[in-house]
Amino acid sequence: MSATVHKIAVIPGDGIGTEVVAEGVKVLEALRDARGRPLELLHFDLGADRYLRDGTTFPAAVRDTIRDECSAVLLGAMGDPRVPGMEHARDIIFGLRFGFDLYCNIRPVACLHDSLMPLKGRTAKDCDMVVFRENTEGVYVGMGGQFKRGTPDEVAINEDLNTRKGVERIIRAAFDYARRHGRRKVHVVDKSNAMRHAHELWGRVFREVATDYPELETGHQYVDAFCFNLIRDPAQFDVVVTCNLFGDIVTDLGASLQGGLGMAASANVRPDGVGMFEPVHGSAPDIAGQGKANPLATVLTVGMLMTHLGHADDEALLIECVRTAIDRRVCTADVGGDRSTREVGDFIVELVRRG
């Protein structure tokens, strides 16, 4: 009996997205060939180049193929100075995130090597948390508007949307994750002292959901205090759940404890259906096309993708490969090496082949 083949949609996107995804693809192929993982890669030519060529952003046919046939999407990064309105990026990212209702943005904030830890007196083991960022609500829904634009009386409003359903499902996902992975504590991070309506809901739902997980400790921090404590003592955090906007911001701060944006991976998932996996960083136009992009965030992202497909041992292997790359300085300049994007990818592939 042959194993179910998992189809993976590959969308490189823009800038360094294309460079790091090329390495991610090599790693997926190595997992397929050396470890017998039943993977089939479907490559989609979508991004700024395609948009500028023929106006295509995110065709319905691609959406349907992903929905009906694929187990996961590997996405690079979107954003190109030639498309200042980001029309293509919006269609592709929102098409995936909102279209497939991928409400869990899971962002591990783990420092994988002592040499990457920027805090005095701390080691890598002091930073090992996972942030659950709500991914479909908050200010990202784009509700609001401008009134009397360009006049001295102008008004600009962005609504912060929080639904009971949306808040509860991300909080539950964080608790479920903590339980499944043997984590001990879940923190909710909000600003309920200022956002008295929306974040009162977050706190109330958090306390209610927590009663279903009596074995887990719980904690609450205002987002400003959380930022302060993340730098002062990251070891106190384990699993953290927060809203869309704060999740975006605090995980960039978190990335600085991991060695930078080139080390930060993420998954956009829901318990059933296709998941979308992308490094946290953007398209970085300043270094695009120069072989300087660190592909290790994408390697770690591929690891999360493999766990999603039921191969958590592949993620564990890839995390070890990344540690080895940093340890032997087979890495890009941002994390202390002098190798190119491709050389780092080749090294990881070699390690995967050796198992």
Query: Which residues in this chain contact ligand ATP in the complex, by CB under 6 A?
Result: 16, 20, 79, 261-262, 281-284, 286-287, 293-294, 297, 334
* Catalytic residue list contains 128: no
- Judge residue 354's burial from the number of C-beta atoms within 10 Å of its C-beta, 0-12 exposed, 13-18 middle, 19 or more buried: exposed
Among candidate residues 49, 128, 176, 252, the one labeled active-site is 252
The percent of the chain in helix, strand and coil, each rounded to the nearest 5, is 45, 20, 35
State which residue has the least CB distance to ligand ATP.
282
- How far apart (Å, rounded) are the C-alpha atoms in residues 96 and 99? 5
Closest contact distance (angstroms) between CB of 261 and ligand ATP is 4
* Catalytic residue list contains 252: yes
Distances from the Cα of 246 to the Cαs of 137, 139, 242, 338, in angstroms? 12, 10, 6, 34
Instruction: Compare residues 123 and 290 and give the one whose CB is closer to ligand ATP.
Output: 290
The residues near 93 (Cβ < 8 Å, ≥ 6 apart) are 75, 78
* Catalytic residue list contains 248: yes
Closest contact distance (angstroms) between CB of 288 and ligand ATP is 9
- For residues 293 and 341, the answer to whether their CB atoms sit within 8 Å is yes
Among candidate residues 33, 45, 224, 338, the one labeled active-site is 224
Instruction: Compare residues 16 and 300 and give the one whose CB is closer to ligand ATP.
Output: 16
The residues near 273 (Cβ < 8 Å, ≥ 6 apart) are 67, 100
* Catalytic residue list contains 191: yes
Closest contact distance (angstroms) between CB of 23 and ligand ATP is 10
Instruction: Compare residues 86 and 195 and give the one whose CB is closer to ligand ATP.
Output: 86
Instruction: Compare residues 297 and 302 and give the one whose CB is closer to ligand ATP.
Output: 297
Closest contact distance (angstroms) between CB of 95 and ligand ATP is 17
Among candidate residues 7, 26, 191, 292, the one labeled active-site is 191
- Judge residue 85's burial from the number of C-beta atoms within 10 Å of its C-beta, 0-12 exposed, 13-18 middle, 19 or more buried: exposed
Question: Residue 289: left (phi > 0), alpha (psi -120 to 50), or beta?
Answer: left
Among candidate residues 91, 248, 292, 314, the one labeled active-site is 248
Active site residues: 140, 191, 224, 248, 252
